[in-house]
Chains A and B, each alone.
Chain A
């Protein structure tokens, strides 16, 4: 077992033990998505119009809530320092840490989004499209979030600051993600938004871990 697999499995295991953090994210995701029809009306056309923005917004909020704790406990118990002192590249380790965090915090959202989609009267292949969009969007968001979390590690109450940093950086994902869902429901060509989302995912996975690793070195100094 190499060190990256080890880290991946360890973090997955730790996330399971910290299940309340994960659950908070999922609950947030479901709540936001279910509150919209309750307060804004629930006829089919309207639901189809708002599902894109609603799903993307709730993934943003869910990942914001669960990601605040990606590095903080590790900083407090000292294992983040041990990570920095590893002989392996910190960016690589962070890449797997982010990946493991994505699996534990966002993969459930992808599954849950299918339920939400059917509650919004979305049917057939479009449900898969909704799930795919959530998958692509959360993989990017998790990178942006981890950078914001790493930058604000030394800040006592990082919540508001993280939101402020996160919003402008994640705006393109929200726009294109909700368009992808809307196009798919309208039966239009969705390749444009999907190319964009995939490109953003690749970009964020190639730059995110490097920037996050750099920010962690700064923050634990």
Chain B
């Protein structure tokens, strides 16, 4: 793909059409992969010799934790592109990632707590991963609330993008400091936390789930970003024509 093509798909009408076309190419594989992963993880994979069937929660926990972290990175990437090229498309993508990213973080937290309850006997443990997820949730919420509280769209886009970039610079530092802190406090629980020695027939459903989550995520983002773009471009010619053709 050369630069000209990238520029072409970066223009709002092209991106709009492309994302609506691409939506199902993400959603359907995502859906299928998640079903396969669920079947594999919940029924086919053998129970862990130490933790029994409870470990199956990782098939929901790990993909959402992975994806929530990378969602923040994608959001910051889109924000950077938006700031540099003042691209409405990039801003729309960044804005659409935030709610899904926040809900993935929420999922990672809740499934983490559901895993903690039988394993550690308590729903919340001050361990590095859960705490990092909590901080990530706050970063997402800050982004979303800042976007909501600035009335003018263009201003809100730029301001939240600055926040996303600062957040992504800080994220490794936060993660590092939380890990450092928890190794000081929770030396005893760390060993319990270490992931079970995963065997091949446990691993493949996990990978399938991670990919399924990713595909489904982008499918939803395609649709949300398309509606964001349409909203921003409603006084443009292509948007009017698109609406007219729908009738």
**Do A and B touch (CB < 8 Å)?**
yes
The segment from B36-44, B163-171, B221-229 found at the interface with A is B163-171
* Residue pair B141, A155 in contact (C-beta under 8 Å): no
CB distance from A162 to the nearest CB of B (A): 9
Query: Which parts of A157-203 form the interface with B (CB within 8 Å)?
Result: 161, 164-165, 167-169, 171-172, 175-176, 179, 196, 200
* Residue pair A172, B173 in contact (C-beta under 8 Å): yes
A158 (CB) vs chain B CBs: closest residue:
B149
- A-B residue pairs, 9 tightest by C-beta: A172-B177, A218-B158, A165-B142, A164-B142, A168-B138, A168-B135, A155-B149, A175-B177, A175-B181
Q: Does B174 sit at the interface, judged by CB under 8 A?
A: yes
Query: When each residue 173-184 of chain B gets 1 if its CB lies under 8 Å from chain A and 0 otherwise, what string results?
Result: 110111011001
Q: Does B45 sit at the interface, judged by CB under 8 A?
A: no
Q: Please name 16 further chain A to chain B contacts, defined as beta carbons within 8 Å, in addition to the given A200-B173, A218-B162, sorted by A numbering.
A: A147-B162, A147-B166, A152-B149, A161-B142, A164-B141, A164-B142, A165-B163, A168-B138, A168-B139, A169-B166, A172-B174, A172-B177, A207-B166, A211-B165, A215-B162, A218-B155
* Residue pair A161, B166 in contact (C-beta under 8 Å): no
CA distance A215 to B158 in the complex (A): 8
The residues of A that contact B145 with a CB separation of less than 8 Å are: 161, 164
Query: Which parts of B138-158 form the interface with A (CB within 8 Å)?
Result: 138-139, 141-142, 145-146, 149-152, 154-155, 158
Contact-residue bracket for chain B = 20 to 34
List residues of chain B with CB under 8 Å of any chain A CB.
135-136, 138-139, 141-142, 145-146, 149-152, 154-155, 158-159, 162-163, 165-167, 169-170, 173-174, 176-178, 180-181, 184
CA distance A168 to B152 in the complex (A): 26
* Residue pair B159, A171 in contact (C-beta under 8 Å): no
Q: Does A205 sit at the interface, judged by CB under 8 A?
A: no
Q: Does A214 sit at the interface, judged by CB under 8 A?
A: yes
Q: Does A43 sit at the interface, judged by CB under 8 A?
A: no
What number of A residues sit within 8 Å (CB to CB) of B?
25
* Residue pair A152, B146 in contact (C-beta under 8 Å): yes
CB distance from A167 to the nearest CB of B (A): 6
A169 (CB) vs chain B CBs: closest residue:
B170
The residues of A that contact B154 with a CB separation of less than 8 Å are: 221
* Residue pair A154, B142 in contact (C-beta under 8 Å): no
The residues of B that contact A221 with a CB separation of less than 8 Å are: 154-155
* Residue pair B138, A164 in contact (C-beta under 8 Å): yes
Please, could you name 20 A-B residue pairs with CB atoms under 8 Å apart, sorted by A? Answer: A151-B146, A152-B146, A154-B152, A154-B155, A161-B145, A161-B146, A164-B141, A164-B142, A165-B163, A168-B135, A168-B138, A169-B166, A169-B167, A171-B174, A171-B177, A196-B177, A207-B166, A207-B169, A211-B162, A218-B159
Q: Does A219 sit at the interface, judged by CB under 8 A?
A: yes
* Residue pair A165, B174 in contact (C-beta under 8 Å): no
* Residue pair A175, B180 in contact (C-beta under 8 Å): yes
CB distance from A129 to the nearest CB of B (A): 18
The residues of A that contact B146 with a CB separation of less than 8 Å are: 151-152, 155, 161, 165
